[in-house]
């Protein structure tokens, strides 16, 4: 698997650019508002809020901005009610895609997501058509530079991780959601820097994409989803060799 990249690897590389532009802040703020409104403003007692705050920190959101979003959520004074929704469909090459969104207007968001699918040669499917291809897992990435693969493998397996893959610049570590926090703590205790960490939908199997034309269409499709203000997360089961990605200059 070395030298190949899943969407999870690609989007985490793109995240640094997004964070600098502040593009991710509004999405994370929405996530914090929804989590705190549903479960309270204490992250130690509200797991969803803790994950949202972790994500906010990963995109360099200032502490006062995080606090304002929490207060807005528990205050509930803005009059806007966001609800969670996910869309499923297929992209070029038969790639399975799940799009998670927070929206205050389903009648607006659904047609816009459908249009993005179709614009890039994909199609919006029915609920459940591809979700079964993904499992909810903890996903942690660590840069390959300066880390011994054997040593890291020993640490993560001892902590209960399911798997670790080398995707070129990153190690992708997957685990059951129940040991996500203990695994993060085990890595921190060993002084290993975490590049990104989240509860994710991990594909059970991947589809190899070995031609640049299809790869470009897929990346463009995923980028458009990420750019949509209602979209929180996108997941896909493609696997693109690093040499093709390099030619496309997508990262």
Regarding whether 160 and 69 lie in a shared domain, the answer is no
Cα distance between the two ends of the chain: 18
Same domain for 18 and 92, yes or no, is no
| Model pLDDT, residue 15 | 62
**15 and 2 within one domain:** no
Q: What is the pTM of this model?
A: 0.82
In this structure, the number of other CB atoms found within 10 A of the CB of residue 13 comes to 17
Same domain, 150 and 243: yes
Q: What is the pLDDT of residue 114?
A: 97
Residues above pLDDT 90, as percent of the chain: 51
* 49 plus 166 within the same structural domain: no
pLDDT at 2: 46
Cβ contacts of residue 117 below 8 Å, gap of 6+? Answer: 89, 90, 91, 97, 123, 124, 221
Q: How many residues does the chain have?
A: 251
Residue 124 is predicted with a pLDDT of: 97
- pLDDT for res 108: 95
Same domain, 191 and 234: yes
Co-location of 1 and 19 in the same domain: no
CATH number where 226 lies: 3.30.70.980
Check if the beta carbon of residue 207 is closer than 8 Å to that of residue 94: yes
67 lies in the same domain as 165: no
- My answer on whether 136 and 171 are in the same domain is yes
Structure confidence by residue, pLDDT tens digits, 153-175 = 999 999 999 999 888 788 999 99
d(CA 177, CA 198): 10
- Give the CA angle between residues 41, 42, 45 to the nearest 5°: 125
Q: Note the pLDDT of residue 12.
A: 67
- Domain termination residue (choose one: 75, 110, 133): 75
Q: What is the pLDDT of residue 26?
A: 82
Domains in the chain: how many in total?
A: 2
Positions of the chain with pLDDT under 50? 1-2, 251
User: What is the CATH number for 24?
Assistant: 1.10.10.200
Say what the pLDDT of residue 134 is: 95
Full domain range(s) for residue 14: 8-75
- The predicted pLDDT at position 1 comes to 42
Q: What's the sign of the alpha-carbon dihedral 231, 143, 172, 54?
A: negative
Residues 105, 215, single domain; the answer is yes
**Tens of pLDDT along 74-91?**
876 555 678 889 999 999
């Amino acid at each position: 698997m070395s030298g190949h990249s899943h969407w999870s690897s690609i989007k985490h590389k793109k995240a640094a650019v997004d964070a600098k532009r502040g593009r991710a802040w509004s999405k994370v703020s929405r996530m914090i508002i929804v989590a705190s409104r549903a479960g309270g403003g204490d992250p130690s007692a509200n797991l969803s809020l803790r994950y949202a705050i972790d994500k906010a920190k990963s995109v360099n959101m200032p502490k006062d901005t995080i606090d304002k979003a929490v207060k807005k959520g528990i205050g509930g004074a803005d009059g806007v009610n966001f609800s969670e929704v996910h869309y499923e469909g297929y992209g070029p090459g038969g790639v399975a895609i799940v799009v998670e969104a927070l929206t205050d207007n389903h009648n607006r968001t659904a047609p816009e997501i459908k249009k993005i699918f179709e614009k890039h040669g994909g199609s919006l499917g029915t609920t459940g058509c591809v979700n079964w291809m993904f499992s909810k897992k903890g996903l942690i990435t660590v840069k390959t530079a300066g880390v011994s693969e054997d040593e890291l493998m020993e640490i993560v397996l001892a902590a209960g991780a399911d798997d670790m893959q080398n995707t070129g610049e990153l190690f992708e570590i997957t685990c059951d959601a129940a040991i996500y926090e203990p695994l993060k703590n085990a890595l921190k205790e060993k002084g290993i820097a975490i590049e990104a960490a989240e509860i994710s939908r991990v594909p059970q199997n991947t589809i190899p994409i070995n031609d640049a034309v299809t790869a470009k269409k897929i990346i463009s499709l995923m980028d458009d989803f990420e750019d949509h203000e209602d979209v929180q997360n996108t997941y896909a089961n493609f696997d693109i060799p690093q040499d093709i990605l390099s030619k496309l200059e997508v990262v």
